[in-house]
Every structure is written in structure tokens, then in C-alpha cells.
Chain A
């Protein structure tokens, strides 16, 4: 067996496979199918300062090799997480990472502060794809000054590993990644969902309640891979790659493009045991190619 250990800043992962926020619940939903302790990291559902009901149904449309969702960050709020969910997760022997979302800088910092106090949680993933309600509803993650502002503010209150999750719905993702790095991020993860749309021609109606939503799944992989490659070249901090990873080969491609770790999202819906299969598949690949450590393939693309 090769050494699968990888690092994201100060955070040590026993293997590079993590779960993408919003696609793996709190992990417990999958405990019948996988040994959660064999997953490198579990990134739980996006958590906000206050409880959110999310968007109206329908929230899902299937598209060629993918899906569009409009869940709208439904969650019970950070206090509920701290009181009820965290106690169920804290003794699982893997990295549990909380995905933090907000609609104002104060929301983000207040939420991050609460999570900072949780002993067994060593990292947060900051979801900056959310609209900035106070400043016109444009996503925090789409302009460099706004990214610097929100990441800088969270950096002040959060002293463990800070991963910033980037939205792909931007003109130049490398510039955004550099802004996050400059503001103190320990790592960037990408991509969040691509903005998409689906229509029912017969009914002349949109298929989801919000008209547009987030595209994910196999179909987004080429875009995600390209962005991970661009970002890995632009920043010095470790990059976490995701978007359309369906199997071990996909995961390896992201690592070759420069990712130090990967996340599996939509694929969990199709095979609830995919995470551990990908970890095993990466190990097999390393053995087959004579690598001793997974670190040897990070950014090892020959161009």
C-alpha cells in the first residue's frame, strides 16, 4: 500500500478523498454503506448563522450526465449544528470540516467563530458562492475586492485551517484564487456548481423553482479540471479539486492537474460507497505506477 497521506495547510488527511458539501449530508446518512473513517475528510452540509428553509420545490432537474440543484442552503443553523450534530460527529476518526455560508460578512464571521470553538473540527470550508444580500445580491466570490473582504474578515476570527471554496461563475478564476490567498486562506477548493438552467418545453416552464440553479456531476469535469489546473499554477497554497469526479481515474486527473486533495459530490448519489472505492483506486494507481506516496502525483502532469 502506498502512502495516501496528504496535507492542506496544517490539516493532515489520511487520504486525499473528501466529500463535497451538500452531497453527503453529515456523513451519518452514508454510514450503512461506507466506513466513514476510511474517508480522508467529510465536509458537511453548508451551515449558516441562522436556520434556512431553502428554496421551494422543485429543486432538482436531471441534465445530460449531470443535474441542476436549487436547494438554497437549507440548514438548521450553526447553533443546532453545535448542539445536536457536532456531538454525533466528534468521535469519528477522520477530519470533519464544516462548510460555512452567509449572506453578509457578519454572518460569515459569527458562524466561523462558533465553529472555531469546536475542538474536533480542524478546518472550515468557506462557501463564497452565496449572494451578498447587503451589497446588491452579487455573489461574494465573483469580485476580488469582495473575496479579500470576506476571507480577510473570517481569517481574523478563525485560527485553524481555512479553505475557501471558489465559484466557477467568474471570468478569471486564478485572480479570485490569488485574492483568497492574499487575504489569508490556507487553501482553495474548486469548483462549486456552474450556474445552469433547464426548461420543460411541453409545459413552457422552468424545471426548478428558481429558474436557474447549480449544475454538477460528470458533465462539469472538463471545466473543473481546467480551472484547477489554472489555479494550481497561480497560487502557492494547496488546492482541493472537485467537480464531476465519478471514479478514481477522475480523481487522479485532478491531482495531476495540481490538486492536493479532491472532493466527491454528485457521484455519492449514484454510488453511496464511491468515496472508499476512489481511495482504493488511487492506491492501486500509485502501486501500478511505482509511486510510494500520493504526494508524488500532485501537479505531476507532463506538458
Chain B
């Protein structure tokens, strides 16, 4: 897929939950082709402590408005600076990067999309794409507390939504892997994005039930293009770049001890 360096124009920057933002970015020309699970590398301007670009998942693409959405959790200097963007500002992005989720063999199957924290970001585009292709997905989203559950209304529009919170303020109390839906339904494929311990727990569940499972990794990146080899993860075939061979991996490819 051809990659571009694009100066997007910020249409809106909306605060979500207690520590996240939703950036809607208008493309100046034609919006490039992109797949769910791919990401962009954004350039954070006027932030002396942010030297490298920041990898952020593509949350959604609204082709009717020529907009790409990024859902960002403010964790450090770079992401906090993104929180200050205003309508009309520009945001330079390298796009689209990475492989994306493999949706080729899921038509008519029961698919579960699991997102933890800001890891819900790529699941919206994935869910919307699956729905448009005729496969209505089930979402299982987890967060520490109610205020950290993001974009619930949008997920509900695209499939069946279940949630967990660690403090029990919304949905079932506990981690996503404790949710009763996992025992009630038989899923054919699971897609996961979130903190590594969560992804490993879901991967372990999937493996025990022999369910095909893909996870999206968030390794530290410099180039995002497969050039610097900084972002590698251990796989069955040695080191692979998360930015180009991933960020999405089938759990059987990884060298995870699960």
C-alpha cells in the first residue's frame, strides 16, 4: 500500500473520558487507502522533548467527510501536546503504516474484537469495516473505570458491545478475560489490542480454546518504515519489525510463553 506524508488539517479535537482526545483530521487531497489495524506516525510540533514521531492507530476513516480519526491517550509530553491542537491546525502524518488485521476469512463467522484502554482505537475501524462487509462483530472493551471507556456509542452502532471495568463502575467487574460472554459464545476469531498483559491473557484463552487470534503490538518505534530495526519483537522466525511485519501478529507467530 502506497505511503504518503500528509499535512492533515485538524477539524476538531474533542476531549474524551478523563485523559483522552479524539482528533478528526481532514485530508487536503484524496484520503489514501488504509486498512483497519494500520497506524500513522504523527509529527508533534513545538514540543522540544518530542524528537521522534509518535505512532498512533487509525481509529476510523470517515470517507464522506474525507476525515481520519485518531484516538489518543495523553501519557507524556508528545501526546499531551497533541491534546492542545485546535481546529485549523495542521498535523503532519506518515500514513498508512503497518500490515493491519487479517479480515480475509471471517465472512459470516463469529468474531470478537477485544480492546483495553486506548487499545480500543483500532477496533472501531475494524468493527465498522467488518460490518460493512456483512460480518457484525462482538466488541468486548475493558478499562480501569467507567470514565476510561471510550467511544462506546460508536461501537454500539457497529455491533454487540460488552464492557468490563476493574472497579465495576460499568459493565461486568474485572478484566476482559473474566467477562461471561467468553464462556457463553463460541467465537471463530479474536482480534485484540491493549496493554501487553491483557493481550497475553486473551491470547492464552484463545489458544486454550483453539481460536484463531491476532494481537496488535505497541513497541517503541523510530522510523515506522522497517528501516531502523528498533521496534523488533521476538517471533518463531527470529526478530521481526512491529512497524512493517506488524503491528498485527497471529499469536502463533510470536515467541510468547502462554
Contacts and interface: CB of A to CB of B under 8 A. Distances in A.
Contact of A53 (B43, B224, B238): B238
Contacts of B253: none
Interface string B107-130: 000000000000000000000000
Interface stretch (B146-154, B178-186, B225-233): B225-233
B27 interface: no
Given A57-B234, A71-B230, A218 B239 contact: no
B258 interface: no
Contacts of B52: 62, 67, 269-270
Contacts of A87: none
Contacts of A59: 229-232
Given A60-B230, A268-B223, A269-B228, A67 B3 contact: no
Contacts of A63: 51
Interface residues of A, number: 35
B227 A62 contact: no
Between B43, B94, B231, the greatest number of chain A beta carbons within 10 A of the residue's beta carbon is seen for B94
Interface string B229-248: 11111100011000000000
A272 interface: yes
Interface in A23-75: 23-25, 29-30, 32-33, 45, 53-54, 56-67, 69, 71, 74
Contacts of B231: 57, 59-60
Given A74-B232, A272-B94, A64 B51 contact: yes
A295 B46 CA distance: 35
A97 to B, nearest CB: 16
Contacts of A58: 219-220
B210 interface: no
Nearest to B244: A29
A217 to B, nearest CB: 6
B225 A29 contact: yes
A60 B221 CA distance: 8
Nearest to B223: A269
Contacts, number: 93
A114 to B, nearest CB: 22
Given A54-B232, A62-B51, A29 B226 contact: yes
Given A59-B229, A268-B227, A33 B5 contact: yes
Given A65-B48, A69-B222, A57 B227 contact: no
B4 interface: yes
Nearest to A76: B238
Contacts of A25: 225-228
A174 interface: no
Interface in B93-116: 94
B232 A32 contact: no
Contacts of B226: 25, 29
A131 interface: no
Contacts of B232: 54, 57, 59, 74
Interface in B25-68: 43, 48-53
A139 B177 CA distance: 50
A22 interface: yes
A159 interface: no
A266 B53 CA distance: 11
B55 to A, nearest CB: 11
Contacts of B53: 269-270
B51 A66 contact: yes
B94 A53 contact: no
A136 to B, nearest CB: 27
B222 A67 contact: yes
Contacts of A57: 219, 231-234, 239
A271 interface: yes
25 contacts: A25-B226, A25-B227, A29-B223, A32-B4, A54-B229, A54-B232, A57-B233, A59-B232, A60-B220, A62-B51, A63-B51, A64-B49, A65-B48, A65-B51, A67-B222, A69-B222, A71-B228, A71-B229, A71-B230, A268-B227, A269-B223, A269-B224, A272-B5, A272-B94, A272-B223
Given A59-B231, A61-B220, 19 more contacts: A25-B226, A29-B227, A45-B227, A57-B232, A57-B234, A60-B220, A60-B222, A60-B230, A60-B231, A62-B51, A64-B51, A69-B222, A71-B229, A268-B223, A269-B227, A269-B228, A271-B5, A272-B5, A273-B5
Interface of A: 22-25, 29-30, 32-33, 45, 53-54, 56-67, 69, 71, 74, 217-218, 266, 268-273
